[in-house]
Every structure is written in C-alpha cells, then in structure tokens.
Amino acid sequence: MMKQLEVKKVTRETWLEQATQLLNDEVFAGAGLNVPNDVKVSCGFPLGVRAGSKHMAIGVCHPRSHSTGGVNEIFINPNQDDSLRVLDVLAHELIHAIDDCQDGHGSKFRSMALGIGLTGKMTATVAGAELEEKLKEIQVKLGEYPHSEVKMHKKKQSARMLKHVCEDDCGASCYQSAKQSDENPMLCSNCSGWDDYEDEYKEVYMVQA
C-alpha cells in the first residue's frame, strides 16, 4: 500500500515542489524527458488575470529571461484547488519549462504533451486515462493539495484602454478596454490560425499586460 510522504508541515509550495519531483520521476522520465532541476513553482495569479475573465489562465510558466534569478517560474492560479487538476496543469507548465517556453504550444510542445499522456487542445490540455491513473498514485503520496479556492469578484469596469500582449509572448501588443477584453477577447494575429499539424484552429489570446 502506498504511503504519504512524511513532512512536518506541508505548504502549497512544498506540495508543488514535491509534485514536480514526482512528476519528473514517474511521468516525464518514462517519456525520455527531464524537468529542469531549478524550476520554481508557486501558487499565484498569472500575468493578465482579471476577475471574471472568460479566458483566465489557470497556470503559467515564465521563461528564464523573465527571472533575475535565471530560472523558470511557474504559477498555479489560486482559483484551482482540486489536487488532480492541479497536477495535470503543473505537468502542462513543466513542459514549457523543459524548452524554456521557446515553442509555445507548437509541434515540439505537442510531442512532449502527448508523450506524457496529456490530451485535448494543446492550449488547454487535460490528463488522458493512463496519465490520470499515474496522477492519482502521485496524489496518494502527496496527500490533498493544501489550498482552498480563491474566488475573484468582478470589479466595475472602466472604458480606459489597457495594454494587452500575446499569451504566448510572441511580442504582439494591442490596446483594449477591460469590458471589450472580457466580452470579445482579441486573438493574437501572429499566433492564431489553422494548424495543419494538429488539424485544428489554434486560438492564442491577447491578455492584459
């Protein structure tokens, strides 16, 4: 029978750090992949998150160039408190860390994602049946994610134009009001379009900078 890891106090960061190690050893290694050993993982709001947004990121991985410490920084949105879902979101973001966010959700990302058992649209993957079983085993070892959902309340919106940038960091930018962004979010004209490799229309959104 599997036993939970013995720790004196499990914080969210401790849980995520241990989850990263277990995912590397029990999921990524089997696919011939290796997660950077200096990646940092925390619970926090991703760049561009606004209350009530229809396209709220539930996880984000920053490239090393964004950190003065020269490491990949991953943040899991505080609106996520389901242990299994957090694990598969973390797995998605760790793929970005492997190639330092160079490929976005392109063919290299797709190859790695499918290799570890993620399925669905590459910008919003979920764990396939086989991966889900592995995540359940990891969750038993870790215990429940020690976090309760933080619900964001929508504030009154203004007509002020806000700068938005591509969520895949391609360099594109535009200006849009918060109301326009919520009701009719703009797609990045550089990164969105039909993907012949995946045989689907790729939607990459502009998010508030």
Distance of alpha carbon 77 from alpha carbon 55, whole angstroms: 13
pTM given for the model: 0.74
Distance of alpha carbon 74 from alpha carbon 62, whole angstroms: 6
Helix (H) or strand (E) holding 193: strand 193-195
Query: Tens digit of pLDDT per residue, the chain (209 long)?
Result: 666 666 568 899 999 999 999 999 999 999 999 999 999 999 998 765 554 455 578 999 999 999 999 999 999 999 999 999 999 999 999 999 999 999 999 999 999 999 999 999 998 999 999 999 999 999 999 999 999 999 876 555 556 888 888 888 888 888 887 777 777 788 888 888 776 666 667 788 888 77
Give the CATH number of domain 12-142: 3.30.2010
Task: Give me the helix-helix angle, 107-116 and 83-98, nearest 10°.
Answer: 140
pLDDT at 177: 79
Residue 5 CB: number of other CB atoms within 10 A? 12
Give me the helices (H) in the chain, please: 12-23, 83-98, 107-116, 129-142, 178-183
Distance of alpha carbon 47 from alpha carbon 146, whole angstroms: 23
The domain segmentation of the chain, as residue ranges, is 12-142, 161-208
Cα 131–137–139 angle (5° rounding)?
100
Q: Which amino acid appears at position 53 of this protein?
A: S
pLDDT at 134: 97
pLDDT at 109: 95
